[in-house]
Amino acid sequence: MVSRIFILCFIVIVGCQNNQASKLPTMKASRDEAVVIGKLIQFEESISKGIDCGNKHCYAKIQIEKVKETGRDFTKNFEQEKPILAYFTYGADGADSTTHKGLQEIFDALKQSDKIIATIKLVGEVNNQKLYQVDMYKNLK
């Protein structure tokens, strides 16, 4: 009986420690996306005319630090050492249902050097540079 209680306590303690170690927000990759952890290196000026996210900052360079998960149709098309060019669907200046009608998520405003977890997918090429789209992100303050 004592050994069973000890084993049960051990399992509970180990499980709690594993949950505490991973304080990352839960994000899942769709089939053509990847969930990545990266650092916002710098904002870019509007790269393509006619594509507007509704905020000042739509484009940024992101240094990918870790690929957490990939969807089955996502192909890792970037070199982890080089920053990627990303288009933020809702901008990087903060967004919610008051800035984008029907938006159910709340996105914090980002600044240079912020660390984020985000979903990315390859959407094309601009000026011979691959362009990734960020639909969801969370600031990892």
Residue 19's pLDDT is what? 42
Residue 6's pLDDT is what? 47
Domain range list for the chain: 28-139
Given its phi and psi angles, is residue 90 left (phi above 0), alpha (psi -120 to 50 degrees) or beta?
Answer: alpha
The whole-model pTM stands at: 0.78
Structural tokens at position 110: 């980002």
Q: Are strands 129-139 and 84-88 parallel, antiparallel or unpaired?
A: parallel
Given its phi and psi angles, is residue 97 left (phi above 0), alpha (psi -120 to 50 degrees) or beta?
Answer: alpha
According to CATH, what is the number of the domain 28-139?
2.40.50
The 10s digit of each residue's pLDDT in 26-43 is: 888 889 999 999 999 999
Q: Are strands 93-95 and 107-109 parallel, antiparallel or unpaired?
A: antiparallel
